[in-house]
Amino acid sequence: MIERIVVLGGKGGVGKSSISAATAVALSDLLPDKKFLLISFDMAHNLSDLFACDIGDKLTPLTKNLWAIEPDPDVYAREYTDLFAKKMRSLLKKMPIVGLIPQIKTFIDTTFTADSIPLALKNAMFFQKILDAEDLNAQGVQFDVIVADFPPTANMVALFDIPEDQVKVVLKYSLNFYNSIKNALKGVSKMFQKMFHPFEQEGKRVSIGDEIVKMLNDLEQRGERISNLIHDVGSLRLVTIAEKPSFEEIKRARDLTEKYISLDAVHINMITPKAKKCDFCNNMRSIQLNYVEDIINEFNKTKIWQSIRLKEEPIGLEGLRNLAREIYGDVGAKEVLYPKP
Ligand SMILES: Nc1ncnc2c1ncn2[C@@H]1O[C@H](COP(=O)(O)OP(=O)(O)OP(=O)(O)O)[C@@H](O)[C@H]1O
Ligand SMILES: [Mg+2]
């Protein structure tokens, strides 16, 4: 059972990946009996760089109880969309009119392919499949906590949004496809009746239409399961630096995500530390501290974690532990998992 899904979001370059990784490492140190998975949902994966090792599209152990993965959305979506496209093709070809117009067969074969399925849908399938963790669990590890490094805001919202809507997306896509050849096709409504009322044919052998309906039902159920999971155990933390653009971005992100996941904390990262002999640094720091105040006021019901810009880039397990110490000090795992304002 997944107890917690910690999601890190925010503008590009503010430290989402570093803080995700540092949080996963710190939690796995604090709770040695629990199993942790760090996942990158950013298409431009960089966990490998942060841990200075090769992670990629396979479950990679980093410590005794921490694994990481940088999944390839195409691999996860292809399985499903290949099958769906194949079934749609053979369903279409069974329509009586298609036999009369041979060109339509070619049109169907070349138009309705896995590649033609919208990218947004592929990403949604990939997101769900990963969070479902069935495949990962099948590899023998049951994760208690997932830490997810998310892409910048727009793509982040798309990941949350589509699980609820993907059946509609598939249907719309299929319908558009139908519409594009509808002039040549007769009896479409009859075909759809069959597709969407599979039980009328109960007792008879399962038709391709029934299988497609089953695929859509499964997809819908998985979407619901994932939406509920994110709603129940998801915990969003927005990362910002003490500057206007990224502050504005986390305000937008808060508004866009509030219906999907609870916002539990804001990280203000890379604050310039106090310097004895650097007027430039101190000037920059005082500008940043004004933003820190604004951010604290704006998010006054949310836990705020502040972290300075470290002298050394937080890379490798030790570097990430160092960043985690800077962020969390010595608060316990409970506070990190369930932050209170
Ligand atoms: N507190 C910090 N002190 C010093 N360097 C930091 C700190 N936080 C992050 N960095 C460095 O800043 C750079 C950007 O961080 P990171 O890759 O985590 O950001 P990101 O938000 O994930 O970026 P992207 O949007 O490109 O994925 C990295 O080189 C990282 O090592
Ligand atoms: Mg990143």
Q: Is 42 in the pocket of ligand 1 (CB under 6 A)?
A: yes
Distance set, CA 138 to CA 15, 72, 134 (Å): 32, 18, 6
Per cent of the chain over pLDDT 70 is 73
User: Residue 216 domain-assigned?
Assistant: no
Residue 105: pLDDT above 60? Answer: yes
User: Residue 324 domain-assigned?
Assistant: yes
User: Residue 92 domain-assigned?
Assistant: no
User: Which tokens belong to 23?
Assistant: 């949080």
CA of 40 to the centre of ligand 2 (A): 8
User: Residue 260 domain-assigned?
Assistant: yes
pLDDT on residue 334: 98
User: Residue 230 domain-assigned?
Assistant: yes
More confident residue, 213 or 138: 213
User: Residue 101 domain-assigned?
Assistant: no
Q: Is 11 in the pocket of ligand 1 (CB under 6 A)?
A: no
Residue type, 13: G
- Given its phi and psi angles, is residue 191 left (phi above 0), alpha (psi -120 to 50 degrees) or beta? alpha
Number of domains in the chain: 1
**pLDDT band per the 50, 70, 90 thresholds, residue 191:** low
The whole-chain average pLDDT of the chain stands at: 82
Cα angle 23-285-268, degrees, rounded to a multiple of 5: 25
Q: What is the pLDDT of residues 53-90, one digit of tens each?
A: 999 888 899 999 999 998 877 776 677 777 777 777 77
What is the average per-residue pLDDT within 100-122?
Answer: 68
Ligand 1, residue 269: give the atom nearest the CA.
Answer: 1
Q: Is 45 in the pocket of ligand 1 (CB under 6 A)?
A: no
| CA 55 to the chain's CA centroid | 18
Residues with CB under 5 A from ligand 2 (ion): 16-17
Spatial distance between the Cα atoms of 205 and 159, rounded to a whole number of angstroms: 37
Residue 322: pLDDT above 60? Answer: yes
pLDDT on residue 41: 83
Q: Is 257 in the pocket of ligand 1 (CB under 6 A)?
A: no
User: Residue 301 domain-assigned?
Assistant: yes
Cα angle 114-92-74, degrees, rounded to a multiple of 5: 10
Residue 181: pLDDT above 60? Answer: no
CA of 68 to the centre of ligand 2 (A): 14
Spatial distance between the Cα atoms of 208 and 95, rounded to a whole number of angstroms: 12
Place of tokens 């305000």: 251
Q: Is 17 in the pocket of ligand 1 (CB under 6 A)?
A: yes
CA of 11 to the centre of ligand 2 (A): 9
More confident residue, 173 or 39: 39
Torsion angle, alpha carbons of 55, 13, 247, 259, to 10: -30
CA of 124 to the centre of ligand 1 (A): 26
Residue type, 253: A
Residue type, 155: N
CATH of the domain at 236: 3.40.50.300
Q: Is 152 in the pocket of ligand 1 (CB under 6 A)?
A: yes
Which ligand gives the minimal distance to the CA of 11? 1
Q: Is 314 in the pocket of ligand 1 (CB under 6 A)?
A: yes
User: Residue 217 domain-assigned?
Assistant: no
CA of 239 to the centre of ligand 2 (A): 11
The range of the structural domain enclosing residue 264 comes to: 4-72+129-153+225-337
CA of 334 to the centre of ligand 1 (A): 25
SS3 state at 306: strand
CA of 232 to the centre of ligand 2 (A): 25
pLDDT on residue 262: 95
Torsion angle, alpha carbons of 70, 74, 78, 84, to 10: 120
Q: CA quadruple 218, 2, 150, 135: dihedral positive or negative?
A: negative
User: Which tokens belong to 301?
Assistant: 């019901």
Residue 99: pLDDT above 80? Answer: no
| CA 43 to the chain's CA centroid | 10
pLDDT on residue 279: 93
Ligand 1, residue 10: give the atom nearest the CA.
Answer: 21
